[in-house]
Amino acid sequence: MEAKKTVLISGGAGYIGSHTAVELIGAGYDVVVIDNLSNSEEASVEGVRRITGRDIPFEIVDTCDMAALRSVFAKYDFDTVIHFAAFKAVGESVAEPLKYYANNLVSFMNIVEMMKEFGRPNVLFSSSATVYGDAETLPVTELTPRKPATSPYGNTKQMAEDILRDCCAAYAGLYGIALRYFNPVGAHPSALIGELPRGVPNNLVPFVTQTAAGVRECLSIFGDDYDTPDGTCLRDYIDIVDLACAHVAAVRRMTEGKMEGKFEIFNVGTGHPVSVLELVTTFEKVNGLKLNYRMAPRRAGDVPAVWADTSRANEVLGWKAECSLEDTLRSAWEWEKRVRGL
């Protein structure tokens, strides 16, 4: 029997979900998008429609609402769900842990419950490099031990990975993949979709682009006294389109029945560490502008360095990051300019 080619994308109006929808459609899949728009706008679904020329079904649904979710499962025929829907602000999760445990875990357990009830097999879960914490060896492989989470957000990622692993072991028809994203950055080359943080951005690249656009006065570089080549933190910045393509590769592996076990984990990064300062100077160079920045104290909870060993994703998924940091930072700026009407 031919594998069903429809994928349900929860949180599909968000940053990673919208780019993944574009790449899935480009690869021949149909998508259904659900989102409660708690951290996104319907305009991003419209952006996906414009890029792909396809009339994508979109429903405003809260994945914590089991009855609403059940209606979606009853209405659409799909074998695979990619579950992006979650809150993601680390600092806010420390201040409001219940908000994070409730949204991120209930929504995920509801998805798994519905998969079971409707006999749908494949769940792809958005995990994070945060599960590695301050790792003892770098780069991290999927076998590098996870460290106790330092925030409720990080804890929801660890718990959801475990929930998926246990459910896949227990339920005969259920298969899971967790993708551990490193630092997703950039925007679609069309500049029709991109990251749309609400309020003051927590993440580096949106803060950089908003500073360049004059929305923020000055970028603070959090810490220049780390034990790294230039004293600033090292991260693995993965282009958003490359990241979206990793989802297509994972979906293909699931829908074509190629998984080796019932639950698999993959790192999704470039495999290259980049310092905060290096990112800032690259942004300035490729976009031909000067950024107002200053050195500032370390930010609580930051690990000095983390980057991915991507061999497993390269070999098993047949996926590799291709976009250069330069092109990614150009796309991030093009998107910001479009958002600001510059």
From 22, 204, 245, 248, residue interacting with ligand UDP (rule: CB under 6 A): 204
Site residues (CB under 6 A) for ligand NAD, limited to 59-88: 62-64, 84-88
Distance CA 69, CA 83 (A): 13
- Does the active-site annotation cover 153? yes
Closest CA relative to residue 19, chosen from 183, 182, 189: 189
The interface with ligand NAD within residues 108-137 (CB under 6 A) comprises 126, 128
The H-assigned helical ranges of 174-275 are 204-212, 240-255
Question: Within a 10 A sphere around the Cβ of 95, how many other Cβ atoms?
Answer: 10
- DSSP letters of 108-166? HHHHHHHHHHHT--EEEEEEEGGGG-S-SSSSBPTTSPPPPPSSHHHHHHHHHHHHHHH
- Cβ distance to ligand NAD smaller for residue 107 or 270: 107
Rounded to a whole number of angstroms, the minimum distance from the CB of residue 220 to ligand UDP is 5
Site string for ligand NAD, 237-276 (x = CB under 6 A): ----------------------------------------
The answer to whether the CB of 171 falls within 8 A of the CB of 316 is no
Buried b (16+ CB within 10 A) or exposed e, 73-83: beeeebbbbbb
Q: Are strands 274-275 and 293-296 parallel, antiparallel or unpaired?
A: unpaired
Which C-beta is closer to ligand UDP: that of 24 or that of 268?
Answer: 268
Residue 210 as a binder of ligand NAD (CB under 6 A): the answer is no
Q: Which residue is nearest to ligand NAD (CB)?
A: 14
Alpha carbons 233 and 226: distance in angstroms, whole number: 7
Nearest to 190 by CA among 305, 292, 331: 331
Closest approach of Cβ 62 to ligand NAD, in Å?
4
Window contacting ligand NAD (CB under 6 A); options: 6-14, 51-59, 211-219, 252-260 = 6-14
**Binding partner at 11 among ligand UDP, ligand NAD, none, C-beta below 5 to 8 Å by kind:** ligand NAD
Among 203, 228, 281, 314, binds ligand UDP (CB under 6 A): 203
Count of residues interacting with ligand UDP (CB under 6 A):
14
The residues of the shown chain that bind ligand UDP, judged by CB under 6 A, are 183, 202-204, 207, 219-222, 233, 235, 276, 299, 302
